[in-house]
Amino acid sequence: MKVDYLRDGSDLLSELSAFATSASTDAGVMEVVSDIIASVKKNGDSALLEKTKIYDHAELQADDLRISQRRLDQSIESLSGEDVKALEEAIDNVRSFHLKSFPENWSDRNSHGAEVGERYYPIQRVGLYVPGGNVPLVSTVIMTVTLAQVAEVPEIAVVTPPNSEGMVAPQLLGALRLLEVSEVYSVGGAQAIAALAHGTESIPAVDKIFGPGNAYVNEAKRQVFGTVGVDLLPGPSEVMVLADETANPQLTAAALLAQAEHGSGKEKVYFLFNTQSLFPRVMEEIKKQISSLSHGKAIEEVLEKGFRPVLIEDLSRMAEVATFIAPEHLELQVAEEKVDFFVEKITTAGALLLGHPTATALGDFVAGPSHVLPTGRSSRFSSGLRLQDFLRRTSFIKYDENSLRSAHSAISRFSEMEQLDAHGKSVDLRVHLFDR
C-alpha cells in the first residue's frame, strides 16, 4: 500500500471538502429506497418478508419478525460473566453522563408580569435501529437504549437485521435483555425504517427514529422525515488524528486503523501531522499492524481510497483545517500542554478524544457520550446523539387580567403592523370583558 501525504496550500480545504462529502447518497440508492418505502407502506409485513429475503437472504415468516421474550431470555446465556460486567460498566457510564444533561422545567415572570416557562416530556414511542449485518454492534444498543430509558420514553422498539439464517447475534440480544427491552424486531435496512415510520401488521409506527446505518438506512431516514422525526443521518465512520512531534507512531497507526474496520468500505481517515519524519514511521507501523487484524484486507482497501494524511507545520493552521473538516472523531495526540489550545480552537468535531491515552474506542464503547455522531462535515451544524433528542419541549404562557392589560397596547400595535385585526380583537375583547 503506497500512500503519499498532502501538503498545506491554497487548494487544501477545497480538496478535503470534496473528499469528506464523497460518500453522499447517489440517485440509484434514493430510487431503491423510495420503492422499498412505498412497498412497505402498501403491503406491510409481506413487503418486510420479501425485502428481508432479497437483501438479507433470510426466509422469515410473519411470526418471526418480533423476537420472542423466550429468545431474549435465553440470549443472556450467550454472555459470559466478563461480557456482562463490561456491558454494565458501559451502561453505568452512559447513564451517568446523560443524567447530568437532563434539562429542568422552569418558569418565570415576563415584563408584563405573566408566567412563562418550559416543560419537557419524553417522546411517547421511539424506534431504535441497531446495525447487525457485518458486525453485531452491541455498543449501539447501549448508546441508544440507555438514553431513551434515562429520558423515560414509555415505548422503545428496536429493529436489527437478521443473518442469512434468520437469526440475530445472541450477544446483541443479550445486551437488549440486560437493558430489559422487550420489543425487538428481526428486520433491517430501509424496510425496517419504513416499518417504523408507517407501521405494519406486526410493527406499530413510532414517533421518532434513532440510530446509525448504511447508505440505504440513512436515505430511508431522510425520506421518512416529516412523517416521523429522525435523530441525524450518520454516514460511514470517520476519524481524524492530529499529531505533533510527541506522538507515538505505534499508537497513531492503531488509531487510524481502528475506525477503518467498520465495514462499509467508505470510512474516512484523516491524519494531520506537523513533523515530516513522523509520517514514514506511522506508515511502517500501519504495515506491521494491519497484517494481524481480522479485518485487515478490508481496512487496507479503505486506506487505499479513504486515507488523507496532511503535513501542516503551523499548529493554528492545523486547528483551522480540523475545524473546517468537522470530523466525527478527533484524536488529539499532542503534548499535554497543547491540548487546551486545540480544544479552544477546534469547535466543530463530533467528539474530542484528548491526549495520548484516549483512544476513540473508549468513546465507541464505554466512556459515556453516545457514539452516534454526525459525519460528512455535518458536525458544523449538528451534534451527537444526546438525552434531549428523546425529549419534547413545550413552552407555556399564563396571563392574568393585570398582565393582559399590560400587554394590550403592544398587541394592538403588532395587529396593525401585520394587518391581522382578528389577532388584536381577540385581546381587545378580553380586556373589555375584564373591565366591566
| Average pLDDT over all residues of the chain | 94
Q: Point out the domain boundary residue: 210, 230, 250.
A: 230
User: What is the rounded distance in angstroms from the CA atom of residue 308 to the CA atom of residue 272?
Assistant: 8
CB-based contact 327:237 (threshold 8 Å): no
Spacing of C-alpha 176 from chain mean position: 19
Assigned domain for 380 exists: no
Q: How many CB atoms lie within 10 A of CB 185?
A: 24
> What percent of the chain stands above pLDDT 70?
98
**Residues 191, 112 within the same domain:** yes
Assigned domain for 91 exists: yes
Question: What is the count of structural domains for the chain?
Answer: 3
**Residues 259, 359 within the same domain:** yes
Confidence at residue 88, expressed as pLDDT on a 0 to 100 scale: 96
Q: What three-state secondary structure class fits 7?
A: strand
Q: Point out the domain boundary residue: 318, 352, 367.
A: 367
**Residues 142, 172 within the same domain:** yes
Task: List the CATH number of the domain containing 40.
Answer: 3.40.50.1980
CB-based contact 15:313 (threshold 8 Å): no
Here the cell at position 207 is 414517533
Assigned domain for 379 exists: no
**Residues 181, 224 within the same domain:** yes
**Residues 308, 409 within the same domain:** no
Assigned domain for 335 exists: yes
Domain that holds residue 332: 6-23+235-367
Q: Please, which residues have CB within 8 angstroms of residue 329's CB and are 6 or more apart in sequence? A: 237, 238, 239, 240, 259, 349, 350, 351, 353, 360, 363, 373
**Confidence (pTM):** 0.93
Task: Tell me phi and psi for residue 354, to 5 degrees.
Answer: -100, 115
Question: For residue 357, is pLDDT > 70?
Answer: yes
48-88 pLDDT tens trace: 999 999 999 999 999 999 999 999 999 998 899 999 999 99
Work out the average pLDDT over 420-433.
96
Here the cell at position 272 is 494531520
Pairing mode of beta strands 238-243, 183-186: unpaired
Q: Point out the domain boundary residue: 204, 230, 256.
A: 230
Residue whose C-alpha cell reads 495520548 in the numeric block = 356
**Residues 289, 184 within the same domain:** no
CB-based contact 269:237 (threshold 8 Å): no
CB-based contact 351:345 (threshold 8 Å): no
Assigned domain for 419 exists: yes
Residues annotated as catalytic are 328-329
Question: For residue 298, is pLDDT > 90?
Answer: no
**Residues 107, 167 within the same domain:** yes
**Residues 90, 196 within the same domain:** yes
Phi-psi region of 366 (alpha: psi -120 to 50; beta: other; left: phi over 0): alpha
**Residues 170, 269 within the same domain:** no
Confidence at residue 296, expressed as pLDDT on a 0 to 100 scale: 87
Work out the average pLDDT over 393-399.
98
Assigned domain for 383 exists: no
**Residues 215, 248 within the same domain:** no
Assigned domain for 394 exists: no
**Residues 107, 166 within the same domain:** yes
**Residues 270, 122 within the same domain:** no
Assigned domain for 387 exists: no
